[in-house]
Chains A and B, each alone.
Chain A
């Protein structure tokens, strides 16, 4: 039961991204061609509301459901890993038309071949794990 709430949140995530067409290859193409406001509206409004939420969490010293202090881990600042990793992910985002979450949601939508992309993604992650000491971070 401890995990049931995450199943519900994940389900809402899957329904929302499907119904707002965020899992559509077409919407990603359209976004990168700057031909529609849709994707920018989604990400932009999520970030604006996210900033407000995060500020409220921090300023009210909000506790988690279990009463522990909420810690939002700051990401260690550097350039290379974020820029190079980001660019490589961007290549994949424009090709598959999906980031990791939407890949799983597409599988639920019946686009079964996306499991091949997920498997390939797992291989990519594994290769990163093996090579990471040789990569600039």
Chain B
């Protein structure tokens, strides 16, 4: 048993993670649903009563309970992995990434799962923390619903079904992501 836990605790290579994700997609389809995580943003808004003021949220969210349970599982999985499947290895980032981020003032890139100097409650009060966490979160919530899906719905499920709409969305993801990474982060990170 310990051998299994030790084995699972190593960082997983891409060729394990990719197929596992596609099997998760298959399982959800086989159970009569689909793989699309960002729908949960809409579901939670609806549960919170947004349907009273906006028809977009006026639907029977009880049909989406399975997706919310999946989200609870995702939190649980993150907890299990971080508590019981830990390895003391830092994230094996490329040399170029590490050097670049150090130049931008991030200490020990890859030592934690996210840059702790940005993702903490104190930094919310700074411009930098506000942009990364609050504005970033806002864009994710607004953009995924506007585009009708996120990485799971478009990049995985949609491309797997060869949907042209999803290809446009994924091109959009990269236009947006590359713009921020090349034109904004070099100025924002050193703040």
User: Which residues of A come within 8 Å of B, CB atoms?
Assistant: 3, 5-30, 32-33, 35-39, 41-51, 53-54, 57, 62, 64-66, 68, 70, 72-79, 81-101, 103-114, 116-130, 132, 135
Contact = CB atoms under 8 A, between A and B. Distances in A.
B112 to A, nearest CB: 9
Contacts of A39: 14
Q: Is the interface of A mostly helix, strand, loop or mixed?
A: helix
B164 to A, nearest CB: 6
A6 B69 contact: yes
Q: Is the interface of B mostly helix, strand, loop or mixed?
A: helix
Contact of A15 (B22, B85, B114): B85
B144 A89 contact: yes
Nearest to A112: B121
A120 B70 CA distance: 21
A13 B73 contact: yes
B25 A53 contact: yes
Given A23-B78, A24-B110, A125-B141, 15 more contacts: A5-B27, A11-B80, A14-B75, A21-B91, A26-B97, A50-B159, A54-B162, A78-B165, A82-B172, A83-B168, A83-B171, A84-B172, A86-B170, A92-B141, A120-B135
B183 to A, nearest CB: 10
Contact of B185 (A19, A29, A64): A29
A115 to B, nearest CB: 9
11 contacts: A11-B77, A14-B74, A26-B110, A35-B96, A53-B26, A75-B148, A113-B133, A117-B133, A121-B141, A124-B140, A125-B145
B162 A88 contact: no
Given A45-B18, A77-B165, A108 B77 contact: yes
